[in-house]
Amino acid sequence: MSRRNYDQDFKKEASRLVVHDGRTIRSVEESLGITRGVLKDWVMQYRHDSENAFKGKDKTEHEQVRHLEKELARVTRERDILKKAVAIFSKEPNPYTGL
């Protein structure tokens, strides 16, 4: 079973449902499909510092942009290679040279 990652906004909203709306931890976990016991830690962090809670694990915008730029460059290179390969293999052989 793989570990699920939740973003900062999801954690804050789930914690807010417990702290401000008065819902139980268990009911929020069940309604959102969160693994049992995880929300308790989130609520403690949220109560300690709701503004800055959960910032440590999320990527900054700059890191996300840099990651996406690298991914775009990789995909562009792959596309260009495939274009060249299609051009090479789609040429009809020369009947005079056999190539």
**What confidence tier does 79 reach under pLDDT thresholds 50, 70, 90?**
very high
| Across 2-28, average pLDDT | 90
**What confidence tier does 70 reach under pLDDT thresholds 50, 70, 90?**
very high
**What confidence tier does 90 reach under pLDDT thresholds 50, 70, 90?**
confident
What are the tokens at 9? 């906004």
**What pTM does this model have?**
0.53
Residue 28: closest CA among 41, 15, 45: 15
More confident residue, 32 or 96: 32
